[in-house]
Structure 1
């Protein structure tokens, strides 16, 4: 499609995106809604890779708070991301979108092992690729996994999907006077401690000049407008 601002994207989803109104677990209707957004992007001719969190199934910090070993809690979270990846793959393939799941933790009976060149080849063939298992290492968040995979596949932008229309200086649900930013620099984002992504992920994007776009995926036009270069969400860049 002419006028595309980005030709290859890495979409970072929270695990809660699959939970729907219930807040936990996996809601097939919520997965289907996300799948529809992804299909629309694919129909525009954009390569799509996805990293999804696990907050709907497991929160490592809860286990850690109860005395669980940090590495064990993180590995449990990585396994939960593969469950979410499989659920989203099913939703995508139910509407005709060919999808592959790759896991950083090998489990060959349910997912391909993560191989960078194979992932890129899938994208070149028009397949959606979902990366599960985080980075494969404890102590790293799925935000960091998203930044890492985005650079490995040479994505044009990392899109952080939220339920608000960008980055604010405070929580817009609690503060009606919160101010939304159209653009931010990496340094300003870090200095203000804005909840865009964790600091490791932002620093990684800054070092490699990968833009981050924060938008509301549940706004049915936001992602399409952003890909066409129209104002949508908050763009975090070096400038």
Structure 2
């Protein structure tokens, strides 16, 4: 993998993509055409030598389950959301590898059959080798958003920037779509 050209502002970035982005025009679920479009954009930048980490939310899948989660214990609902992020990570991994981009998924919840456990030094080495690293299952604990997980992983990876591909323009104290008092 080539070094990032000097005209790139950032050598290593973490891109946080909301799960809703992967829905395309659907009301929930994964639209693989949309996943392919996002993967192609990530691939273009990775092929230029920029080291890329991804965190993908789970709202596209959890939205379809939200009715079932009403009245559910918050921790259990959050764990269901973490599982949704793993499904999105695997969809993105498949799309990236289909176009020749080496990718690794690391999960904060051990799932040895489908993803590596999150190990900081291993993730760093993957990035140095030019692989895209997708972090799944947030921080592995309930009561934290994927935005929190993205900020944590970006700091741990020594990223030059944390970029958001979401419908919200920053990190807030609460969901600004639901809470008009949420502050950025």
The reply to whether TM is greater than 0.5 is yes
Matched residue SS, 1:56 = helix
Q: Which runs of 5+ in 2 are unaligned?
A: 175-183
Q: Structure 1: how far apart are the matches of 2:46 and 2:69?
A: 41
What is the alpha-carbon distance in structure 2 between the residues aligned to residue 147 and residue 64 of structure 1?
29
Structure-2 residue corresponding to 1:48: 52
- Matched with 1:160 is 164
TM-score when normalising by structure 2: 0.87
Mapping of residues 111-190 of structure 1, within 5 Å: 111-162=115-166
TM-score by length of 1: 0.68
Residue 1 of structure 2 is aligned to residue 27 of structure 1 = no
Residues 42-75 of structure 1: CA deviation (Å, up to 9, x unaligned): 1221000000000100049946972110000000
The residue aligned with 2:100 is 96
Root-mean-square deviation over aligned CA pairs: 2.1
Q: How many residue pairs are counted as aligned between the two chains?
A: 171
Which residue of structure 2 aligns with residue 175 of structure 1?
none
| Structure 1 spans left out of the alignment, 5+ residues | 168-194, 201-235
Bigger-Rg structure (1/2): 1
**How do residues 56-95 of structure 1 correspond to structure 2 at under 5 angstroms?**
56-59=60-63, 62=66, 66-95=70-99
SS at match of 2:62: coil
Q: How far 1:27 sits from its partner (Å)?
A: 1.1
Work out whether residues 106 and 113 of structure 1, in 8 Å CA contact, stay in contact via their aligned partners in 2.
yes
> Would you say the 8 A contact 1:64–1:73 is kept in 2?
no
Superposition misfits of 4+ residues, deviation over 2 angstroms: 59-66
CA contact (8 A) 2:29 2:60 kept: yes
Change (3 A) 1:60 1:46: same
Higher relative CO (Cα under 8 Å, sequence separation at least 6) belongs to: 2
Which residue in 2 is equivalent to 1:221?
Answer: none
1-structure distance, mates of 2:14, 2:146: 12
